[in-house]
Each structure stands twice: as C-alpha cells, then as structure tokens.
A = this chain, B = another copy of it.
Amino acid sequence: MTKRKICVVITARPSYSRIKTTLKAINAHDKLELQLVIAGSALLGRYGNAVNYIEEDGFVINEKVFMVLEGENKTSMAKTTGLGLMELANTFYNLKPDAVVTIADRFETIATSIAASYQNIPLVHIQGGEVTGNIDEKVRHANTKLADIHLVASEDAKRRVVKMGEDKNYVFNTGCPSIDIAFQVSENRKLNFDPIEKYGGVGKHINWKDGYIVVMQHPVTTEYKKSRENISKTLKVVHDLGIPTFWFWPNVDSGADGTSKGIRAFRETYQPENIHFFKNMKPEDFLRLLSNSRCLVGNSSVGIRECAFLGVPVVNIGTRQNGRLRAHNVLDVSYEEKAMKDAILNRINKPNPMSQSDIYGNGKSGNLMAEILANVDLRFHKTIMY
C-alpha cells in the first residue's frame, strides 16, 4: 500500500513544540510517510537553532530552506515570506507530497500555504480560528481561507473557523500537540536537571533552588517601535523585585532587534544580579522548568496553552495574547510598572500547579492528528459555505 506523504514545514522554534508529537505519530503510523522541511529562523543560531533539537530528536530532514532576511523594519518580513514562497514552491514540486501542513500564524507560514494551495496540494492548517489582535491574526485567518483541512486547538477556535465559511466536516478540534509534551511532564514534574549547568546561558549565576520565576517576552509586530520600551519596562520591574529569574531570549521577528538591544543595553548598564539569560531550551525541559517555577511572566503563548494544562501561574503582559481563550492560571496586566509588580506578587503566591484545564487539549493531540491525516478526504477544492 502506498503511504500518504505528509510534508510538514517548520519555520521557527516554537512551531516545533507545537507539532513534535504529531511528527512522531506520523512516523509511527503505517499509512503515513513524513516529509520534513526545516526553514526560516529554525535554521539560525541567532534564534535558537531549532534544527539541532529536531535532529537530536531523531527526525530526518528532507530539505532545509534558508529564507530569513536581515533588517530592522517590516520590509524584511514581507521579503522573507516572498523568498520562502519561491523556494517552498520548488521544494513541494520536487517532494510531491500528498498533503502539506502549515502551522499557526507566524508571518512566513503563509508562504507554505500559498506554495501548497497554488499547486493543488491539499493544505492542512494547524491552530486556525484563534484571536490575537495583530498581524498574526491576519496571517492566521488568511491561512484558514487557503487551507482545505483545519486542525484547531479548541472548541472556540472551531466555532470561529466554521463561521468564516469553512465546511465543518473539514474542521477538527484536535487540541494542541504542545499539550502532549505538557502531559508527559505532568506525569512526573521533578526538575531533573540543573538549568545553568545544562544550558549555559549568560549573566549572573543566580540562586534558583529556593524558587524562581521565568520570563519570556516577544516583540509585538504592529507595535514595532514600542518593542524596546516594553522590554525595558519588564526588565526594570523584574530587576527591582530581585526574585531569581530565568529570562528567555525572544524569537526572530521584525522587532527582534529592538527587544534584543533592549536586553543587551540593560545587561550592559545594570548587570542584574537576579537574572540569568537563556537563548533556548528543549521543550520538555522548558515545561519542566515552568512546572517548578513560581510563575511565568511575559507574553508567550506558552502561558496561555501549556501553562493552562500544567496549572502554572502566569502574568500575561500587554496585547499579544488578546482574544485567546484563557484558563484560571492567567492574570492579564498592561505595561504599567506598579500593575506588573502587583501581578507578579499575586501569582508567586499561588500554588504551582493551580487548577489544571484541558481547553487546549488533553495530551493525545499528536496521535489524533496523525489519525485524521491518514483518513481524511484530501480535497484541494473548496468553496465558501454561504
């Protein structure tokens, strides 16, 4: 029997943790063959070299595609997408997949969507239907309109995709595979490694063993100029509080340099005693670190999703996660100094775990996705339902 060739395109580190268990399940499925394309910032050391983790996890990469342009403005985002589209068109032409999977809503994911749909290759979109309030939302919904099959992460998202005119027979609430990793961690939460010893990082060697917080703050694309201002505010608050802190570098983004410069300048000036900086960490290790932390601070979607399942207290700052379904672990706050401090103090006084929630999945998403990919009608022709 010929296996269905499922081509998954991963363009950034966070996308990998949202698909990893699905990749494993595809590899294990007797009706499916995995074609893995690693592209964009997932190939770059400056953004955490996701490609290394992927290879260490034993996946075979069919093609690597360099496509990220340098630049401090939004022009480079657009050009990166155009370049990715040209290259991925050729990649799909040569790999001849039966279906292509595009993940979520980063700006370059639409390159995957166009390259597949224009070539009449059935397009599977993961994590459509969510609401966030910036360019990501435009990209996500445009991906939905180009996609033929939708694997969404919550009932809320499913409802929205169907309302946009998609055929409900092709919209599946699978939950998010990132929860599968959280599920494994939740089975045994012990912190079985020394973060600094294992990952190095830069900055002071903080005393984390008696409790620490984790910070991860990304630039918000449509508030480009504010990236540096925002990161500086969070840095000041965390520095002032003096709580031992593991701080994670942001992903590539048009404002990445604004954020990165903010961090570098702060370190240069203050050499903060209570903050240690990491570029990257294996997803399991990262979730285990969160699971043993006092809270997560920032604007990462991990706070909304994985932390919901794990019950990790979260301070979510600013507008980046606007409109996304939340569980009780999340406390929202603006970039106002006093408010941020209060919110962090509130959260570190909660137990970890707080109550757990399966609104983003129950830990079996990878297998469920593979099963759907093996059996769904692979259409590439659709029309709006109204």
Contact = CB atoms under 8 A, between A and B. Distances in A.
A39 to B, nearest CB: 10
A82 B111 contact: yes
Given A66-B93, A68-B71, A79-B90, A383 B137 contact: yes
Residue among A86, A380, A383 facing the most chain B CB atoms (10 A cut-off): A86
A69 B66 contact: yes
Nearest to A111: B82
A72 B44 contact: yes
Given A81-B114, A83-B82, A131-B383, A90 B70 contact: no
Interface string A89-113: 1101110000000000001001100
A120 interface: yes
Interface string A65-87: 11111111111111101111111
A69 B71 contact: no
A141 interface: yes
Interface stretch (A26-34, A159-167, A168-176, A336-344): A159-167
Interface stretch (A2-10, A142-150, A240-248, A280-288): A142-150
Given A66-B79, A384-B160, A145 B141 contact: yes
B83 A89 contact: no
Given A120-B222, A165-B141, A381-B134, A69 B68 contact: yes
Chain B CB within 10 Å — which of A84, A94, A160, A268 has the most? A94
22 contacts: A46-B70, A63-B94, A65-B90, A74-B119, A75-B92, A78-B85, A78-B115, A79-B85, A81-B114, A83-B83, A86-B87, A117-B138, A118-B135, A131-B383, A133-B381, A137-B384, A138-B145, A138-B146, A142-B146, A144-B145, A145-B145, A323-B383
Given A68-B69, A134-B381, 6 more contacts: A69-B69, A69-B70, A82-B82, A82-B87, A85-B85, A86-B86
